[in-house]
Chains A and B, each alone.
Chain A
Amino acid sequence: MSATWIVYFKELRESLRDRRVLLNTFIIGPLLGPVLFIVLINFITSRELDKAGKPLPVAVIGAQYAPNLVAALKQSGIEVQAPPSDPEAAVREQRVELVLRIPEQFAAEWNAGRVAQVELLFDSSRREGSGSVERLRNVVRAYAARIGAMRLVMRGLSPAVSQPLVIAERDQATAQARGALLFAMLPYMLVFATFFGGMFLAIDATAGERERQSLEPLLINPVVRSRILLGKVLATASFSVCSVLISLTAFAVASRFLPVDKLGMTLDLGVRFIAQVLPVMLPLVLLVAVLQTLVAAFAKNFREAQTYLGLLQILPLIPSMMLTLMPFKPQLWMYGVPLVGQQLVITQLLRAEPVGLIPLAICFAVTAVAGWLVLRLTQRLYGGEQLAIST
């Protein structure tokens, strides 16, 4: 067996006996994302479903001036409440969400066939209220339109007279794409699992080994140092792959049990999805493993390595944030940027869009080459004599 694999299996065996490493690689790293995801989706869906079905409480002033309108509101699931004494202040102080004021002259205007007016009091700075405002507004408008149409018919005109133009809305977002909005965090969570999965092994096998004074005896074995390094990198990468796989499986299981279809979305995160994502992630896993080994190998001790790798872990947040905050059309070169490319491809897979072979090849190849270059660099640096000496 070559030295690389001897080192590889020894690192795996040793790490598998470390409870802290196991916890981080197989539980915290891969499952943090899916758990967060389940909580978030459940929260969103239950809120949306609640809102649609629940009666909307609205304080109505002057309900006696427009009994028909009030009856129509009640029919549409609006709960008419007694008005507060000072409605403006009540809305401002968030005691009441919505107030509908029907003026005294409403009946006179209405009966005369002039434009009657109702006032809607709300606070647009309260985000969670915007849905309610929209709902009430639609109910009132629908009532007005119905009455308008009836008046036209009574005068022998077609209701179409007052509606020269209508907009027919056809949303081209597929059900998957709507789901992908919620899934924007999934690519980052996979990258997070990549970083977290290998981190502790990388530290333990390099900075940790030196701190425990076992690096010097190891390096005087009749083995080329770059082989030893490669064994350590591969062990780190293996843990990282495991972490990603567990994460993907958890997402797949979660997507089956979440009530996403009630939101008009479909999500397919099954075996096919995993089989497509895994090859995209592989070169990234290697690149990250080499980077972690490089950084940890030159830290003075365990603690310092932990600090550096913690900082390194923030790195993938940058492309994620950019993709979320400034949604731009992906350009071909972006697939060549490690971390960005993977996130783009996974997002597209989530949206059930076809990913071109060229972007896919660029994404794979550039990251793989980058990983190889950093590996060569690390192997060069690993040959230095200061590396082994711990005292």
Chain B
Amino acid sequence: MIEVRDLQKSFGDVQAVAGVSFTAADGQITGLLGPNGAGKTTTLRMLYTLMRPQAGQVLIDGIDAFTDTLAARQRLGVLPDARGLYKRLTARENIEYFAALHGVEPALAKSRIDALVAALDMQDIVERRTEGFSQGQRVKTAIARALVHEPRNIVLDEPTNGLDVLATRSLRRFLQRLRADGRCVLFSTHIMQEVAALCDRVIIIARGRVVAAGTLDELRAQAGESQLEEAFMKLTGADAESLA
């Protein structure tokens, strides 16, 4: 479970995140929805301990992420916005490197990698050097290395960015399996269909604040709109131009 309480972060005069609070529960997929520049990536970067907030608290399974950082990181699997691979290493070696840094024993790492390779359908690329991988192959490898320590909480920053329809569908199925496993899945996106297709709960962020949170039905009711897109527009206070 991930709990975020009143996170704040500013860069110079710009208040990127102005008091964000939400909870992502186990066995659910939670979507962080918002237009570009709403503060999603900054919120996530604080959540997975890359940045320190000026105020606020993050609890990962009850562990304070800023006082017990390493323990919190052990419980997180993260696909960050930056998902570069080591291009002179094979996909397997890339994943093994992160497994080792998480302290996973080589034998255990091997069986987990084999399981992830099967689940993500990447048997044909796992022994290849990652140089020249397609966007989809890169995302799969990055997800596998983020999950090789079997974290209970999974955070993905715009995971379907740059993926084609087929890769997106296969990624959705994978996230649903993680949910079925009882894990806590949190991902950010600016794409409505993504949220509609996957999420149990949605948190809508605009201008560094949470403007609405709840199930899809609750959000539609809150906005008084039957269409999700209209509801989103109303809730973020955005007009068509600012989203374009």
Residues of A within 8 A of B (CB): 1, 3, 6-7, 10, 13-14, 17-18, 209, 212-224, 385, 388-391
Residues of B within 8 A of A (CB): 45, 48-52, 69-71, 73-74, 76, 78, 80-89, 93, 97-98, 100-103, 142, 145-146
- CA separation between A222 and B48, bound complex, in Å? 11
Q: Indicate if the CB atoms of A14 and B73 lie closer than 8 Å.
A: no
Known: A10-B97, A18-B88, A224-B70. A215 touches B50 (CB 8 A): no
Please pick, from B83, B97, B146, the residue contacting A213 in the complex, using a CB distance under 8 A.
B83
Q: List 9 A-B contacts (CB under 8 A).
A: A7-B101, A13-B93, A14-B88, A18-B88, A214-B85, A214-B86, A217-B98, A220-B76, A222-B101
- CA separation between A18 and B88, bound complex, in Å? 7
Residues of A near B74 (CB, < 8 A) are 222
**Closest residue of chain B to A386, judged by CB?**
B51
Please pick, from A217, A223, A389, the residue contacting B146 in the complex, using a CB distance under 8 A.
A217
Residues of B near A13 (CB, < 8 A) are 89, 93
Extra inter-chain contacts (13) besides given A213-B82, A220-B50, A223-B101, CB under 8 Å: A6-B100, A212-B87, A214-B86, A220-B48, A220-B73, A221-B101, A222-B74, A222-B101, A223-B70, A385-B51, A385-B52, A390-B82, A391-B81
Residues of B near A14 (CB, < 8 A) are 86, 88-89
Question: How far does the Cβ of A229 sit from chain B's closest Cβ, in whole Å?
Answer: 14
Question: Which of B50, B82, B85, B98 has most A Cβ within 10 Å?
Answer: B82
Q: Indicate if the CB atoms of B88 and A221 lie closer than 8 Å.
A: no
Residues of B near A3 (CB, < 8 A) are 101
Q: Indicate if the CB atoms of B70 and A214 lie closer than 8 Å.
A: no
Please pick, from A1, A18, A217, A385, the residue contacting B145 in the complex, using a CB distance under 8 A.
A217
Question: Which of B83, B100, B142, B145 has most A Cβ within 10 Å?
Answer: B100
Residues of A near B85 (CB, < 8 A) are 212, 214
Residues of A near B51 (CB, < 8 A) are 385, 389
Q: Indicate if the CB atoms of B82 and A217 lie closer than 8 Å.
A: yes
- CA separation between A122 and B140, bound complex, in Å? 81
Question: Which of B84, B93, B102, B145 has most A Cβ within 10 Å?
Answer: B84
**Closest residue of chain A to B77, judged by CB?**
A220
Q: Indicate if the CB atoms of B82 and A391 lie closer than 8 Å.
A: yes
Q: Indicate if the CB atoms of A220 and B78 lie closer than 8 Å.
A: yes
Question: How far does the Cβ of A1 sit from chain B's closest Cβ, in whole Å?
Answer: 7
**Closest residue of chain B to A5, judged by CB?**
B100
Nearest 9 interchain pairs by C-beta = A213-B84, A214-B84, A213-B82, A222-B73, A216-B82, A221-B101, A212-B84, A17-B88, A222-B70
Residues of B near A389 (CB, < 8 A) are 45, 50-51
Question: How far does the Cβ of B179 sit from chain A's closest Cβ, in whole Å?
Answer: 22
Question: Which of B85, B89, B98, B101 has most A Cβ within 10 Å?
Answer: B101
Known: A216-B80, A220-B80. A388 touches B70 (CB 8 A): no
Residues of A near B83 (CB, < 8 A) are 213, 217
Question: How far does the Cβ of A16 sit from chain B's closest Cβ, in whole Å?
Answer: 9
Q: Indicate if the CB atoms of B87 and A217 lie closer than 8 Å.
A: no
**Closest residue of chain B to A21, judged by CB?**
B88
Question: Which of A17, A216, A222, A389 has most B Cβ within 10 Å?
Answer: A222
Residues of B near A212 (CB, < 8 A) are 84-87
Residues of A near B84 (CB, < 8 A) are 209, 212-215, 217
- CA separation between A223 and B97, bound complex, in Å? 13
Residues of A near B80 (CB, < 8 A) are 216-217, 220
Question: How far does the Cβ of B171 sit from chain A's closest Cβ, in whole Å?
Answer: 17
- CA separation between A131 and B74, bound complex, in Å? 77
Q: Indicate if the CB atoms of B81 and A216 lie closer than 8 Å.
A: yes
